[in-house]
Amino acid sequence: MLKATPSDDHLARMYYELAAHGAACTGDKRPWPYGEMSLSELFCLGADMSRYDPRLFDVLVAFMDRHWHSLDPLMIRSCYGRMQTPQTIAVMAEFLLGQQECPDEKRYFLEFLQRGLRSVPIQLFYHYLYRPGGNLMLRAVEAPLREYKIWGFLAREAPVLDEAGRRTAGSRDAASRRNILLHLFEDRGRIRLIDYLEALDFGISRQQALLDMRSLKGVRLVGRGPGARWERAA
């Protein structure tokens, strides 16, 4: 389905085509090597392209969230054999399945798209996004979002579902949260509980944050009230 690494022209055309179907994006009708296709086929092509463009991934997740009833699940699944990594669609579905409000009909739709797919060998989700060996790559490897990780991918970019409210999707498992905590202590020495919650984009409760903090050996609370800090024993 994806003929080559998407160029700027190809990505601009993808945004243009998605916008014509109600996606929250704008683009340009530039030349590309793809002919006429249904919305569901366009969505699958966009899913393969999204590994080269985090913004496109955001747009597709938000589109699936709002317009899932416009997509043909059988048509999407028929495209899997022609896609480079159909698991990208499983990841999108995973982000939406984790939302508090997910009606049964929508849940069945999302789970049907995942059915029969296996996780890929461990790999970075985004191509060419991180500098090899750089800090961002290290963070993606050590503290990926759970929704990517369970399908074999490593990435820390949380898709935005609501541009106006900046509502994001995604969560981290205990291993990823632990690595984030360790880096906070390495960088700052002492931290507040709010520092940890901010590092997780407030994706967990205060109670879970306290449990995570207390699970680290050699960590103690110093002080009380607003001035309280957590520190690791020397």
Write the pLDDT tens digit of every residue in 99-108. 878 999 999 9
Q: Which of 88, 111, 127 is the last residue of a domain?
A: 127
Residues 210 and 108 in one domain: no
Look at residue 83 and tell me if it is in a domain.
yes
DSSP letter for 116, please.
T
Q: Give me the chain's average pLDDT, please.
A: 90
Q: Which domain holds residue 79?
A: 8-127
Indicate if 118 and 26 belong to the same structural domain.
yes
Q: Is the pLDDT of residue 166 over 80?
A: no
- Asked, for residue 104, whether it belongs to a domain, the answer is yes
> Is residue 138 one of the residues assigned to a domain?
no
- What percent of the chain stands above pLDDT 70? 97
Number of domains into which the chain is organized: 2
Res 234: pLDDT = 60
pTM: 0.83
Ramachandran category for residue 22: left, alpha or beta (phi over 0 → left; psi -120 to 50 → alpha): left
Tokens of 161: 């579902």
* Ramachandran angles phi, psi of 142, nearest 5°: -85, -30
Q: Determine the Cα–Cα distance for residues 221 and 123; give it in Å rounded to an integer.
A: 38
Please state the length of the chain: 234
- In a shared domain, residues 103 and 182: no
Residue 222's DSSP bridge partners are 229
Q: Is residue 31 part of a domain?
A: yes
CA-CA-CA-CA torsion sign (92, 94, 98, 99): positive
Cβ pair 222, 230 in contact under 8 A: yes
Whether residue 16 is found in the same domain as residue 113:
yes
> Please, is 100 exposed, middle or buried when counting C-beta atoms within 10 Å of its C-beta (0-12, 13-18, 19+)?
exposed
Query: Residue 31 is which amino acid?
Result: P
Query: Domain end: 127, 160, 188, which one?
Result: 127
Q: What pLDDT does residue 42 have?
A: 98
| Boundary-marking domain end, from 127, 153, 187 | 127
- Mean pLDDT, residues 199-203: 80
List the Cα angle 172/178/180 in 5-degree steps.
75
Q: Domain of 195: which CATH number?
A: 1.10.10
Residue-wise DSSP of 204-234 = S-HHHHHHHHHHSTTEEEES-GGG-EEEE--
Residue 199 located in a structural domain: yes
